[in-house]
Amino acid sequence: MLVDNGVHGDSRVQKEARSAAESGWDVVLLGRARGKKGETWQIGSAEVRLIPVPGPMARRRHEYRRAVLRSPLAYRPGPLAEYRRQRVKAWRADLSIRLILARQEGSAPARLWLTVPRLTARLTYPWVKLRHRRTRALDKRRKEMDAPLDRFTTAFWLRTMGDRSWRRLDPHLWDIELAFGKVVDALEPDIIHANDFRMLGVGARAKLRAGARGRDVRLVWDAHEYLPGIKPWSPHPRWHVAQCGHEREYARHADAVTTVSETLAHMLQERHGLGERPTVVLNAPEAEIPSEQAGEPVPDLRELCGVGPGVPLAVYSGSAAPQRGLDIMVESLPLLPEVHTAFVVLNPESGYLRSLRARAEELGVDGRLHMVPYVPHYQVARFLSAADVGVIPIHHWPNHEIALITKFFEYSHARLPLVVSDVRTMGATVTRTGQGEVFRAEDLEDYVRAVKSVLGDAERYRAAYDAPGLLDTWTWEAQAEVLDGVYARLAAERAPGTRA
């Protein structure tokens, strides 16, 4: 299995690895180390290895060259501009001290001797400062790449290379390939399970190399998101178009495609001309706790927030970013004077969450806003069950419209009444099941209405979970059987005469 993250915060790949190993597959999960050192550990019987990924190609080739025509006064790329500015400042500081000492000693020749270097330093500093500004401005333009020449070169590579243009537009994808590819080859897998769009290329190239050596390797592509509809991870204007080209180039090499919703399955089949509809494997919680973790105590959400059992508590659990809409939960607190809000997040000190805390202080409600760290994925539902309402306030982005996201299932197994924004798939499901209220995304007044409605009759919404079979299909155990079926089919299809 391949994934482009550190595994720890990715419940889907953790569950995939554990359940596949429990079904008898020999599983090695390769993830991405954050630093220069690799790591290894076990998830059940599955082995996890984190691979360091050096990033010399994260900068595009033009970023290593001087822009003689575009910005002739800029220093060459690298630390030279900062070094030159710091060096001339140090020179002036040194000359100042030497002059002070010469005056104290009453040495006229020494003061006279310092006249020329002091004048030179005084004239040099504005020149170095100008070149430093020009270098910073050039770096900024190269990152934004919105000049006519930048737009022309991007269009040129797209026109001349098509989907292969990612090699020019985001060569960092080669850094990932060069780090992972040799490890995959050494493992000699029978099936490669590539999670998401970056690892699709790694898996496809490994499959092609294995085929050239006489080994029949099957590739599963697990598409977590609809790539054209995501908010780009990087603000660089070439990043998104490069990832889309990379995905299009290698999608045809997948022997099976799995994904997270029927809507996304249809979109992927249509976009990539897939011969069969991708298999849907929902990212649902485990109904049973893994045996080795069964005795671990579950943290008390209310205790962490410092609130008692009778205090209304709304919770959001998951990634924190502006498009997730958490700001509406903060803005609502003055209008919901008894309600406390908890954010269960990976990094409580991120810039976005710091801005939300600052806004809460401005509104005078910071005492009712709580930042709580993640718990292991197998504890999430029990951990969240202490809240009174689970909130999903995401904005209208294409990817938000098409899936029942992980926290939806986690809230459901916690039997929480839901308050969700009116994104298409999730809003329709909540309306159908009656497990919560739907509000207009980014509409504060409507959000407050929904929260009041849920808190005013919580048991009515909780009763929706008693519907026969509703939660049974929303379990990882049910989804693991589907995934195991995909593996079994691919294993049976492998050419019997190939080297194992």
Judgement on whether residues 238 and 297 belong to the same structural domain of the protein: no
Global pTM reads 0.80
CATH number of the domain bearing residue 197: 3.40.50.2000
Judgement on whether residues 423 and 320 belong to the same structural domain of the protein: yes
Please check whether residue 312 lies inside any domain of the structure.
yes
Over the chain, what HEC string results?
CECCCCCCCCHHHHHHHHHHHHCCCCCEEEEECCCCCCEEEEECCEEEEEECCCCHHHCCHHHHCCCCCCCCCCCCCCCHHHHHHHHHHHHHHHHHHHHHHHHHHCCHHHHHHCHHHHHHHHHHHHHHHHHHHHHHHHHHHHHHCCCHHHHHHHHHHHHHHHHHHHHHHCCHHHHHHHHHHHHHHHHCCCEEEEEHHHHHHHHHHHHHHHHHCCCCCEEEEEECCCHHHCCCCCCCCCHHHHHHHHHHHHHCCCCEEEECCHHHHHHHHHHHCCCCCCEECCCCCCCCCCHHHCCCCCCCHHHHHCCCCCCCEEEEECCCCHHHCCHHHHHCHHHCCCCEEEEEECCCCCHHHHHHHHHHHHHCCHHHEEEEECCCHHHHHHHHCCCCEEEECCCCCHHHHCCCCHHHHHHHHCCCCEEEECCHHHHHHHHHHCCEEEECCCCHHHHHHHHHHHHHCHHHHHHHHHCCCCCCCCCHHHHHHHHHHHHHHHHHHCCCCCCC
Judgement on whether residues 254 and 316 belong to the same structural domain of the protein: no
Q: What pLDDT is recorded for position 473?
A: 86
Please check whether residue 479 lies inside any domain of the structure.
no
Judgement on whether residues 333 and 452 belong to the same structural domain of the protein: yes
Please check whether residue 124 lies inside any domain of the structure.
yes
Judgement on whether residues 142 and 186 belong to the same structural domain of the protein: no
Separation between Cα atoms, residue 23 and residue 271, nearest integer Å: 33
Domain boundary among 255, 280, 305: 280
Please check whether residue 246 lies inside any domain of the structure.
yes
Q: What pLDDT is recorded for position 500?
A: 41
Domain boundary among 234, 256, 280: 280
Please check whether residue 265 lies inside any domain of the structure.
yes
Please check whether residue 500 lies inside any domain of the structure.
no
Judgement on whether residues 349 and 425 belong to the same structural domain of the protein: yes
Judgement on whether residues 150 and 212 belong to the same structural domain of the protein: no
Domain boundary among 260, 280, 300: 280
Please check whether residue 495 lies inside any domain of the structure.
no
Q: How many domains does the chain have?
A: 3
Judgement on whether residues 446 and 328 belong to the same structural domain of the protein: yes
pLDDT tens, residue order, the chain (500 aa): 999 999 987 889 999 999 999 999 999 999 999 989 999 999 999 999 999 999 887 776 666 677 777 788 888 887 888 888 999 999 889 889 988 898 888 888 888 888 898 999 999 999 999 989 988 888 887 777 877 888 899 999 999 999 999 999 999 999 999 999 999 999 999 999 999 999 999 999 999 999 999 999 999 999 999 999 888 888 888 999 999 999 999 999 999 999 999 999 999 999 999 999 999 999 998 887 776 676 788 999 999 999 999 999 999 999 899 999 999 999 999 999 999 999 999 888 999 999 999 999 999 999 999 999 999 888 999 999 999 999 999 999 888 898 888 899 999 999 999 999 999 999 999 999 999 999 999 999 999 999 999 999 999 999 999 999 889 889 999 999 999 999 999 999 987 655 44
Judgement on whether residues 314 and 188 belong to the same structural domain of the protein: no
Judgement on whether residues 312 and 447 belong to the same structural domain of the protein: yes
Judgement on whether residues 465 and 333 belong to the same structural domain of the protein: yes
Please check whether residue 435 lies inside any domain of the structure.
yes
Q: Which domain holds residue 22?
A: 15-58+170-280
> Which of 443, 446, 427 lies closest to 435 in space, CA to CA?
427
Longest dimension (CA), the chain: 99
Judgement on whether residues 457 and 329 belong to the same structural domain of the protein: yes
